[in-house]
C-alpha cells in the first residue's frame, strides 16, 4: 500500500494511492496516519477497508500532499552511515551508529519549500531513506524481530545548515531542526510491498544537475541493524521517523563547497519510493 496525506498545511487528511495511480480519501475511516493508527494494527484495518470498499472519494492531483505520516513523536537521524560518504568527508567509518535527534517541526510535505534560515550561508542537501516505525519497540531481542516493527519506507530529505551544525558549538540539533528541513514522502510504501531495502538506487539533483547518486547497499549499518540498535537506548514509538544517512555528493563535500540559495530547485528520487521537488525560499 502507498499511504499519503493531502490538504492544506495543518488540515491534512489520510489517503492512499491505488494501483491505477489514483489518489483516494480515507478520512471517513481513519483520522490520520499517526501513532494511534500504527500502534493499533491500523495497516491491517486499512487493508480490510480497501478490500471491501471500491467507491472511495477521489482526491484531485491538484491537491497538496503533506508529509506521508503525521508529525512524528521523534525524528532520529543517523550520521555518516554510507561508506562512500565517509570517504568523501575524509572520516573513519563509525564503529557504532552516530545518532542525533531532529526537531519534528522540520517535517513537511514532499513539494513544500525548503526555507533557507536567516543568516544561513551553508544550507545543504541530503537524500535519505526514511523508515517509519509501525509499533512501539523497546529492547528488541534480535535483528530478526525488527521487521514486525517497521510500518514502511519513504524518501526523507535531511536538509542541514552546516554552520549551525558544525561551527556554533554543542550538538547537531541547531543545524538539523530549522523549519521545513525534512520534506517527507510523497508516499509511505508499506513494508510488505518493499521488503528488500538494502539495494535501492537514490539520487538528488540541484537545478537539474545531479549532485548525489548512490545506493542503500552502501549503508554501514542497514535498516534492521539500526532499528534494533536504537531500541536498546530509547522506546521507538509507532509513527517515529528514522532518517538513515546519505550517500556522497553533499554540498559540504564539494571542492569548493556549494550550498543552497533562494531560487534553487532540489529534486530527490529513491527507487520504489517516488519523487520530491522543493523550491528554496528565503526565510
Pairing of strands 127-133, 150-157: antiparallel
pLDDT digits (tens, 9 = 90+) for 90-102: 788 999 999 999 9
pLDDT in tens, 156-183: 999 999 999 988 887 889 999 999 999 9
List the alpha helices (DSSP H) in the chain: 35-39, 42-52, 83-89, 162-166, 173-176, 223-231
- Residue 166, pLDDT score: 86
Strands (E), 61-125: 75-79, 98-102, 107-108, 114-116, 123-124
Are residues 112 and 53 part of one domain? no
Structurally, how many domains does the chain consist of?
Answer: 2
Question: Are 125 and 17 in a shared domain?
Answer: no
Q: Both 119 and 244 in a single domain?
A: yes
Check whether residue 139 and residue 197 sit in a common domain: yes
Residue 92 confidence (pLDDT): 87
Domain that holds residue 14: 2-59
Q: Which residues of 36-48 are buried (b: 16+ CB within 10 A; e: fewer)?
A: ebbbeebbeebee
Judge contact between 172 and 229, C-beta under 8 A. no
Amino acid at each position: 500500500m502507498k499511504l499519503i496525506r493531502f490538504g492544506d498545511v495543518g488540515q491534512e487528511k489520510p489517503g492512499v494511492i491505488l494501483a491505477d495511480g489514483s489518489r483516494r480519501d480515507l478520512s471517513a475511516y481513519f483520522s490520520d496516519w499517526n501513532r494511534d493508527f500504527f500502534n493499533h494494527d491500523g495497516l491491517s484495518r486499512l487493508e480490510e477497508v480497501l478490500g471491501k470498499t471500491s467507491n472511495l472519494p477521489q482526491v484531485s492531483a491538484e491537491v497538496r500532499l503533506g508529509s506521508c505520516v503525521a508529525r512524528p513523536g521523534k525524528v532520529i537521524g543517523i550520521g555518516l552511515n554510507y561508506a562512500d560518504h565517509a570517504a568523501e568527508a575524509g572520516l573513519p567509518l563509525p564503529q557504532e551508529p552516530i545518532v542525533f535527534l531532529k526537531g519534528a517541526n522540520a517535517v513537511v510535505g514532499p513539494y513544500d519549500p525548503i526555507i533557507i534560515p536567516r543568516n544561513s550561508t551553508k544550507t545543504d542537501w541530503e537524500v535519505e531513506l526514511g523508515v517509519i516505525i509501525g509499533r512501539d519497540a523497546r529492547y528488541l531481542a534480535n535483528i530478526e524481530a525488527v521487521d514486525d516493527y517497521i510500518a514502511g519506507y519513504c524518501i526523507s530529505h535531511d536538509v542541514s545548515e552546516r554552520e549551525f551544525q558544525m561551527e556554533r558549538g554543542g550538538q547537531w540539533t541547531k543545524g538539523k531542526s530549522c523549519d521545513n528541513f525534512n520534506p517527507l514522502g510523497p508516499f509511505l510504501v508499506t513494508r510488505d510491498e518493499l521488503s528488500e531495502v538494502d539495494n535501492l538506487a537514490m539520487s538528488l539533483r540541484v537545478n537539474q544537475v545531479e549532485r548525489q547518486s548512490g545506493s542503500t547497499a552502501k549503508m554501514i549499518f542497514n535498516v534492521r541493524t539500526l532499528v534494533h540498535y536504537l531500541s536498546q537506548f530509547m522506546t521507538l514509538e509507532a509513527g517515529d521517523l528514522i532518517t538513515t544517512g546519505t550517500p556522497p555528493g553533499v554540498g559540504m563535500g564539494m571542492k569548493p563547497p556549494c550550498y543552497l540559495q533562494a531560487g534553487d530547485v532540489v529534486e530527490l528520487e529513491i527507487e520504489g519510493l517516488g519523487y520530491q521537488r522543493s523550491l528554496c525560499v528565503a526565510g
